[in-house]
Amino acid sequence: MENILSMLIFFPAAAATIGFLVDKNSMRQFGVVVTVVEFVLALLLWYHFDVNVAEMQFVKSLPLISEYGITYTVGVDGVSLFLVVMITFVTMIAVIGLTVTKGMKNLIISILYLEMTMVGVFVSLDVIMFYIFWELTLIPMFYVIGFWGAEKRFYAAIKFFLYTFTGSLVMLVGILYFGYIYHQTTGTWSFSLFDWNSIVLPFEAQMWLFIAFFFGFAVKVPMFPFHTWLPLAHGQAPTIGSIMLAAILLKMETYGFIRFSLPLFPDASVYFVPFMATLGLIAIIYTAMVAYAQEDMKQMIAYSSISHMGVITLGVFALNVEGIAGSVYLMIGHGIVSGALFMAVGMLYDRRGTKMIGAFGGLAHNMPVFAAFYAIILMASIGLPLTVGFIGEFLSLLGFFKFSPTLTVIATLTIVLSAVYMLAMYKRTFFGKLVKPENKSLKDIFGRELVALGSLVVLTIVLGIYPKIILEPLNTTVTNLTKVMEIKAVNQDTKEKLRALNTVGEVK
């Protein structure tokens, strides 16, 4: 088990390289086998994970550039564990449900390389190594959007690349500056997160470093006003590209806030809570209103995704166990639900060649199974109890209620907007009479479509009914995180605020 994280990182890349030698007619089966094996490895990791241990587990460290303290260091805790499991599961389901026929071989190879980079981001404990994997995610995703996307695919791919790459460069400056501070403090170079956590930064340094990391994370969430690349990327990307983008890539950024910003810059994190909460509220309200105005089903889901990321931001910067654990659970839930929504829209597009809501109507008559699945996923998206979406949203807002009841009430009321536009879209798509002749010949989902979408629906319900399986390990890790923040804070007011926000300290 000591090498299981390395296997999880490099197995998809090794398989992708071998994939160049695989016959194109056998590539789908090859991709499914590889992603299934990767998912089994993630389940094995989960099986051997000790839920009672708050520290990093399965840690492996090898020197890379010793003179500058750059190492290959990997490990997981309760936060990263379930995000890795989600990555491998969603990738497996996306490949099973893949409908693209043009260049399928190269597309699957690109997805496998992308899986390698995403797993690397969530298990890296050397900050330079984290940054390398972070930037490498751009290459396969750029290729997926630019080659297999719609008519404006190249423009969307370029905008996606430039926005995220520019934000990451600012973060790189912050990484190098922190390395310099560590060298000045200890006399040695190191970019290990373990070493960085051992020093306490003065308030001014925390402020500048928080801002530098903020730009890297905020562009990829994406937060307002950096969000304009995402709806375009979703609209132009192929279905599998949208699934990977919404379900996994957007979670890298909120994970970055939890892994780096909160424990390394606790005073700055508390100082910037009003600012981060404002951005989260703008995301919830503004993008929900824009989503309501959309006639393109995929664009509506894209804007809805930004709105949900605003709730996750509120949970992260609640700075207490309930909020942070809720935000991680919502990351997982949103990954499942948004992936299912984009997959469902892709199935409609494959049948009709359009994503416009007005082109449908009455589909429940000839696609009853698909309509039922879509309804369950949609209800999870708007946070219906007993679905995975409810747990994460409830805990995130419950945690933030401790910080600001007024802002939490505003956020809660505006979430109702998602129910308005989602239910309106569902009514126009599935209810009423089958008026348009093009829709009368549409067939219900079957075969691999049924397996892929059905698996996501089942998981949506299971995790909504029994969240303890994830929340228990999360509680251990997040409780330790809040304690670390309190210990490392240099300002007494910060310590008192963190202590007040964590009076309960357990989520079950």
For the chain, domain boundaries: 273-474
Q: Is the pLDDT of residue 308 over 60?
A: yes
Among candidate residues 304, 219, 313, 235, the one with its CA nearest the CA of residue 269? 313
Tens of pLDDT, residue by residue over 191-210, are 999 999 888 889 999 999 99
Q: Cβ–Cβ contacts within 10 Å for residue 241, how many?
A: 33
DSSP, res 260: I
Q: Is the pLDDT of residue 156 over 50?
A: yes
What six digits make up the tokens of 366? Answer: 């000839």
Three-state SS annotation for 49-93: CCCCCCCCEEEEEEEEEHHHCEEEEEEECHHHHHHHHHHHHHHHH
Confidence of residue 310 (pLDDT cuts 50, 70, 90): confident
In one-letter notation, the amino acid at residue 76 is: V
DSSP class per residue in 95-161: HHT----TTHHHHHHHHHHHHHHHHHHHHB-BHHHHHHHHHHTHHHHHHHHHHHS-TTHHHHHHHHH
C-alpha 261, offset from chain centre: 17
Tens of pLDDT, residue by residue over 454-507, are 999 999 999 999 999 999 888 889 999 989 888 888 888 888 888 887 765 444
What is residue 507's predicted lDDT score, i.e. its pLDDT? 47
DSSP, res 442: P
Which element (helix H / strand E) includes 61? strand 57-65
Q: Is the pLDDT of residue 228 over 80?
A: no
In the chain, the largest separation of any two C-alpha atoms, in whole Å, equals: 75
What six digits make up the tokens of 59? Answer: 């840690």
Tens of pLDDT, residue by residue over 42-76, are 999 999 999 888 889 999 999 999 888 999 999 99
Average pLDDT, integer, range 406-431: 86
Confidence of residue 101 (pLDDT cuts 50, 70, 90): low
Q: Is residue 225 reached through a cis peptide bond, with omega within 30 degrees of 0 on the bond before it?
A: yes
What is residue 416's predicted lDDT score, i.e. its pLDDT? 81
Average pLDDT, integer, range 249-269: 90
What six digits make up the tokens of 445? Answer: 């989902």
Among candidate residues 175, 166, 167, 171, the one with its CA nearest the CA of residue 128? 175
What is residue 216's predicted lDDT score, i.e. its pLDDT? 86
Measured CA to CA, the distance from residue 151 to residue 146 in angstroms comes to 10
What is residue 504's predicted lDDT score, i.e. its pLDDT? 53
What is residue 450's predicted lDDT score, i.e. its pLDDT? 92
Confidence of residue 32 (pLDDT cuts 50, 70, 90): very high
Tens of pLDDT, residue by residue over 429-459, are 999 888 888 888 888 888 888 999 999 999 9
What is residue 271's predicted lDDT score, i.e. its pLDDT? 92
Measured CA to CA, the distance from residue 370 to residue 9 in angstroms comes to 35
DSSP class per residue in 165-182: HHHHHHHHHHHHHHHHHH
What is residue 1's predicted lDDT score, i.e. its pLDDT? 74
Confidence of residue 218 (pLDDT cuts 50, 70, 90): confident
**What percent of the chain has pLDDT above 70?**
98
